[in-house]
Copies of this chain bind each other. A is one copy, B any other.
Amino acid sequence: MSEAIRKNFASDNIAPACPEVMDAMIRANSGPAPAYGGDEQSTTLEARFAELFEHDLRCFPIATGTAANSLALAALVPPYGAVLCDQSAHIANDEGGAPEFFTHGAKLITIPSDDGRMLPDALQTTIELNREGGIQSTPARALSLTQATEWGTVYSLARLRELTAIARQNNLPVHMDGARLANAVAHLDCSLADITWKLGIDVLSFGGTKNGAIAAEAVLFFNTALAEDFIRRIKRGGHLWSKQRYLSAQLLPLLHDNLWLKHARQANAMAQRLAHGLRRQPGAKLPFEVQGNEVFVVLPEPLVTQLEAAGYVFYRWPTPAGVDGTLIRLVTHYATEQTDVDALLASL
């Protein structure tokens, strides 16, 4: 890897695709293939995901996470409904209104939390208030949970169980935004089944792009009845590739020999190492537990400037009022190496 990438902690999407993915693209690039998902790679993909999740499912590869999340939500809520989510959720803040576009204007009702992990009490209260609104409200019709969260924290299985139980009692289907699900599984050391359908997740956006692919996610329906007509939503959103083999081909190598997990473990370990080093830095404060591949840290402004001057690339985050210093985000990924982290720490 180049010097440039060793100093780039801006996001997990700045990394190139892993060699296994590129090899698969090259292998896929021969001979004709039926259009629109009739190809061999796409058929295989569904079977592979079903094995991996130990459950019957329907699989739809999609090029972007924004589209995967938004299409999934559109399959759950009517245009006049609402989706409950954490106030930090990607769907609420970072998708340029795509959920509203695909759902035809459903509302995102955001629930405050300290660290991106929704609290069961807050969920319960929000549902009750929403119900009292009656005909004048936008009725809650789905719950969306992000695992790992946008603050780099990971829901425990117990917490997820509580949340999905409340959803079930209120007839809310549950979507999981798993753009970084691999990082959560790596942290929890559980199975993919444990963290999804066994907890009552109906639909999952399984991330590939941040974990070694070029541009590939998968929407997985464990509740297969909800997948009816989903392909029509994909087509109508302009997300059905005529040459779909090139989407599926990116995901297959990630599933092979659990490469997705190996990648996530590497990213997580690097984030741990980074967090460990930063905690020893005078004046540094880490506002959230580091459980995935994102490290949020408040540093004295001179240190932040120094890092930038040394060529490091990362995002400055809106620093909460009353906090002394500058909040920045450092993201590791599958290709981040120990020496990269140590070099950053050394440069402080």
Judging by beta carbons under 8 Å apart, are A13 and B243 in contact?
yes
- Residues of A92-146 at the interface with B, using a CB-CB cut-off of 8 Å, are 93-98, 100-107, 129, 132-133, 135-139
Considering the chains assembled together, what is the distance between the CA atoms of A63 and B233 in angstroms?
16
Query: Which label, helix, strand, loop or mixed, suits the secondary structure of the A interface?
Result: loop
Judging by beta carbons under 8 Å apart, are A96 and B215 in contact?
no
Q: Is A4 an interface residue (CB 8 A)?
A: yes
Judging by beta carbons under 8 Å apart, are A80 and B238 in contact?
no
Residue with the greatest number of chain B CB neighbours at <10 A, chosen from A11, A35, A101: A101
Residue of B nearest to A33 (CB): B14
Judging by beta carbons under 8 Å apart, are B104 and A104 in contact?
yes
Partner of A135, one of B107, B235, B238, B246: B235
Judging by beta carbons under 8 Å apart, are B96 and A105 in contact?
no
Judging by beta carbons under 8 Å apart, are B101 and A240 in contact?
no
Residue of B nearest to A71 (CB): B238
Contact stretch, chosen from A22-30, A165-173, A182-190: A22-30
Interface size band for A: 35 or more
Known: A31-B2, A318-B129. A100 touches B94 (CB 8 A): no
Considering the chains assembled together, what is the distance between the CA atoms of A222 and B221 in angstroms?
34
Q: Give the shortest distance, in Å, between A97 (CB) and chain B (any CB).
A: 4
Judging by beta carbons under 8 Å apart, are B79 and A101 in contact?
yes
Q: Is A17 an interface residue (CB 8 A)?
A: yes
Residues of A whose CB lies within 8 Å of any CB of B are 1-2, 4-5, 8, 10-11, 13-17, 22, 25-26, 28-36, 62-68, 70-71, 78-80, 82, 93-98, 100-107, 129, 132-133, 135-139, 209, 214-215, 229, 231-233, 235-243, 246-247, 313, 318
Sorted nearest first, the 9 A-B pairs with minimum C-beta distance are A67-B238, A100-B105, A96-B235, A13-B242, A8-B32, A14-B32, A105-B105, A94-B136, A2-B31
Q: A96-B232, A215-B246, A238-B239 are in contact. List 12 more A-B contacts (CB 8 A).
A: A17-B29, A36-B135, A63-B215, A67-B237, A80-B101, A93-B137, A95-B235, A96-B136, A97-B138, A98-B235, A209-B243, A215-B242
